[in-house]
Amino acid sequence: MYNYDTVTEAISGLKARGFTLDFNLQVNAIQCFNPDLNLTPQEFEIKEVYRFEGDTNPSDEEIVYAIESKDGHKGVFVNGYGPSADAVGAEMMQKLTDHHNQ
């Protein structure tokens, strides 16, 4: 596992290692627009997780996920946690929480 000091550094490092797609978190899936992908929790694996805490503002707390789909598409998505966390469905929350707690 790599060690990054900032969200930007983590995203750049992951992209340099082949995680080039940008995923967005939906309620029950993650989505990429180019190429057009919509992956349910069963269709991807979380390969790496990097958590960053805001020094002075709790809304600056973010998690960077390195994602790989079952068919080999690799990318990242960034999500807040704590007060800034996105609303997700139970199955997606379980997927994210299980990996984050390992």
Q: Tokens for 58, please give them.
A: 């709790």
Summarised one tens digit per residue, pLDDT across range 48-98 is 999 988 665 555 688 899 999 999 999 999 987 755 455 666 677 777 766
Q: What is the pLDDT of residue 82?
A: 59
Judge whether 49 lies within some domain.
Answer: yes
Taking every pair of Cα atoms in the chain, the longest distance, rounded to a whole number of angstroms, is 40
Q: What is the pLDDT of residue 96?
A: 73
Judge whether 17 lies within some domain.
Answer: yes
Judge whether 1 lies within some domain.
Answer: no
How would residue 46 be classed by pLDDT, with cut points 50, 70 and 90?
very high
Q: What is the pLDDT of residue 14?
A: 98
| Res 32 pLDDT > 90 | yes
Judge whether 2 lies within some domain.
Answer: no
Domain count, the chain: 1
Range of the domain at 37: 7-100
